[in-house]
Amino acid sequence: MQIQLEHPSAIRIDVEVTIDPNEITTVRNQVIREVKKRARLPGFREGKVPTNMVLRHYGPTVDAQALERLLDTYVPKALAEADIHPVSQPRLRDELGLVSPDEPFAFVLECDVMPVIDPVGYDALDVPDAEVSVSADEIAERIATIQKTHAEAIPVEDQSPEIGNRVEFSYYGRAGDQDIPADAPLKAQAELGDTQLLPNLQDALLNAEVNTPFAVEFEYPEDFTEEELRGQSAALTVTVDAVFKIEYPDLDDEFAKSEGFETLDELRAEVEKHLLAHRTQEARNERIEKAYDTLLEKNPFEVPQSVVDNYAQTLSQYMGQSMMHRGVPGETAHQVVQDSVSEAQKVAGRQVRIEHMLHSIQKKTGLIVTDQDLDDAMEKEAGQTGAPVPRIKAKYNAPEGKRQLEARVLREKTITLLLGEETTQVAADTATSDSESEPTENASEESQAQAVEETTK
């Protein structure tokens, strides 16, 4: 076998493979023997058909199987010998000719590869750290949310809903592209006066009578929580099933004790600490995204479209599965995914470049993960989740678990380098974090990194 390489671009290598006649003869004879064992012709016992008769009657089968055997054998062999690692399935250039035992057989593999880059500017990024704070109103709002979890709902008889009441209602009709049948209405509940309740629906509920259906039409706002309904119209028939008066506990030390604190001041301090930590993480995430943008500007490079396509497909599949998991009909979910193809391509292209940039920086700087780094990460996760350290260590004891932890810690060390932080902040598992999300532009770093890795295997 002879190999010749061509580099038509930084993201493609063409591998021309030439197989010698003697190698072809060896493979072809193997195929002939296998076909001969199965051949059945009148006048000959099974397995005893002469070779010339096998070739006369089964020649096309021999040729096809010999070609398949040669490719199965010599494609991976050629890639290994040339030390080439395609990021997608190699493509055969042009149509392949017949396999002849008397002459060499050649084919060309077009291989998509990630470009070799020498990253610059990663140690001189100007990404200022924003100051974060939490206001007294934000603390009060969060405590009010906690207070609601301790509220008591008292049924109200023979009274129309009022602001502050909790209303249980059912509805059917049309919501965007979704038809809700009258014999299978959906049920919901809401507190009147809640800013998340659509104004038109709230006004209709305030004027409703219990167990008396009424019609209401409205449009979902562009920032509605369910993306597939944004900007869509709804025409519903709604029935108020029950009304409740909500009584909240007093905000005092007794209330604080129900949350595990001695005093209300201690509860407020803990809420402030939590909000501040969340706000600090949000600010850091924004710095990270700005650092990525700056790096990509300083280091422009191409990546194979096949990798972008694979990752975009991963994003779309995840989105569709997530929507159906939330109860969105399959047809609607599929249509939303189809409509978001261009956005998925945009996100995928950026993320693939980011991942390759980070890997290149890690290689250039010699960043590694030590056993101490892993121990620190597991200690931190134990502190965040409240789980015992031995349980956390058992979680990462398996090879795949350890690999994921190493990748997460290495990524965090790289980000620390980019942001110019004085101390290495070791990443911990974010299973209990508020930052977990679908792999969209705001997705967690880890989920996107894993998706990219899967598409480049």
pTM over 0.85: no
Max Cα–Cα distance, the chain, nearest Å: 101
Please spell the DSSP secondary structure of 186-216, one letter per residue.
EEEEEETT-TTS-HHHHHHHHT--BT--EEE
Handedness of CA 365, 368, 373, 378 (dihedral sign): positive
Confidence of residue 10 (pLDDT cuts 50, 70, 90): very high
pLDDT, tens only, 126-184 = 888 889 999 999 999 999 999 989 999 999 887 789 898 999 999 999 998 889 999 99
Q: Which of 86-100, 288-302, 314-328, 418-432 has the lowest mean pLDDT?
A: 418-432
pLDDT, tens only, 287-344 = 999 999 999 999 999 999 999 999 998 888 888 888 888 877 788 778 877 878 888 8
Q: Which of 2, 10, 3, 21 is nearest to 302 (CA)?
A: 10
Q: Both tokens of residue 451? A: 């998706």
pLDDT, tens only, 227-282 = 788 889 999 999 999 999 999 999 999 999 999 999 999 999 999 999 999 999 99
Produce one character per residue of 7-29: b if its CB has 16 or more CB atoms within 10 Å, e if not. Answer: eeeebbbbbebebeeebbeebbe
Q: Both tokens of residue 419? A: 């942001």
The mean predicted confidence, pLDDT, of the chain is 87
pLDDT of residue 103: 85
pLDDT, tens only, 32-54 = 888 888 888 888 877 788 888 88
Q: What is the set of domains in the chain, with CATH numbers? A: 2-112 (3.30.70.1050), 117-150+264-301 (no CATH), 152-247 (3.10.50.40), 302-455 (1.10.3120)
Q: What is the distance between the alpha carbons of residues 72 and 381, in angstroms, rounded to a whole number?
A: 46
pLDDT of residue 422: 66
Q: What is the distance between the alpha carbons of residues 28 and 426, in angstroms, rounded to a whole number?
A: 57
Q: Which of 292, 403, 298, 406 is nearest to 349 (CA)?
A: 292
